[in-house]
Amino acid sequence: MKLTEEERKQAEANRLAAIAKRKALLQSSSANIHCQENQSHYWRLAKCPKLANDNAQIPKRHQDSKSMPISSTQLSKKFQARLEICSPDTFSITPETLKGCLYPGDEECLRRLGDVLSDVMHSHYTQDSGGRKACVYKLRDYGSVLSCLRKSKDIEIREIPHLTLKVVETFSHCFVAGQWRPCRPEHLSDEDVDELITKLPETLLNSLLPFQLEGIKFGLRRGGRCLIADEMGLGKTLQVIV
């Protein structure tokens, strides 16, 4: 098939355009190489000369006191005492690090807490969720503990939230000597709960595991106002339905 005159002209124009484009790329590449050589030559000339005397003293630049690092000996050895509820009638005190202060260590912090709270009888020691040692006190002594801690300048207090404390104090008398006592209209006594349990079908009652039965009793005592936070597959739905 023969090309028309117009097609020949178009092909020739395309060929010339491709040659011109290639020539421009070659010129650009050559210019970049030349520029890099000049930069390399510049840095060779800009190298710092070696001092004639190796033992020559280099003048030290004056440091601003604000930019100088703070020595650990200059930091205050303060720590934070975190107070939190750990049972219906007790709370714990856990020593923690305080930003900008040098932490004295767990044992030293517990010793200081013991000295500050020497007038308050502590219950026992426990571990928090992070594995740190904490001392436990009775909830009825919360005010005395807080008053003693506030007298120390080396201890920053992280108190129990006021609303949380009030709620726990309100319901704390429900547990007297380890026994449940109703304190609200919707609460049920252990006797009432046991009576309700006997009304369950025997087949269903026998299929419940001990912890599931205890969860049901827990909810009934509180009139159904509770939170069951077991892991998956342990029968939370079954306890709620029952």
Give the pLDDT confidence of 211-230 residue by residue, as tens digits: 889 888 988 888 888 888 87
Structural domain includes residue 201: yes
Same domain, 111 and 180: no
User: Is the alpha carbon torsion for 161, 164, 168, 169 positive or negative?
Assistant: positive
Same domain, 119 and 106: yes
Band of the pLDDT at 82, cuts 50, 70, 90? very high
Q: Which two tokens stand for residue 150?
A: 């506030």
The mean pLDDT value for 66-71 works out to: 50
Domain range spanning residue 223?
175-241
pTM of the full structure: 0.52
Alpha-carbon gap, residue 85 to 159, rounded angstroms: 10
Is the separation of the CB atoms in 182 and 189 below 8 Å?
yes
Same domain, 125 and 182: no
The mean pLDDT value for 110-126 works out to: 88
Band of the pLDDT at 14, cuts 50, 70, 90? confident
Q: Which residue has the higher pLDDT, 154 or 68?
A: 154
Structural domain includes residue 1: no
- Helix, coil or strand: residue 8: helix
